[in-house]
Structure 1
């Protein structure tokens, strides 16, 4: 993984590597859904904010 913003797949790999708790992983997916919702609602790029 180079410098800069990771891809979603790279971020998921890091999430699973450093978080063993399934509840924390579910929380991260919930946060992603909320961020995507508000990005869409405000006309922003969902991929950037999700």
Structure 2
């Protein structure tokens, strides 16, 4: 997963400045869901053994 998605999931976003801080208001919900589903599958594969 891209770093900016990981940061969104753990609510640890890099500080955006200037134009990026104004215009980057996308919530990344679909991407965060995908990341968490992949992580869930990974954890389940570990505990299922």
TM-score normalised per structure 2: 0.46
Structure ranking higher on relative contact order (CA contacts 8 Å, 6+ apart): 2
Is the helix fraction higher in 1 or 2?
Answer: 1
Which of the pair has more CA radius of gyration?
2
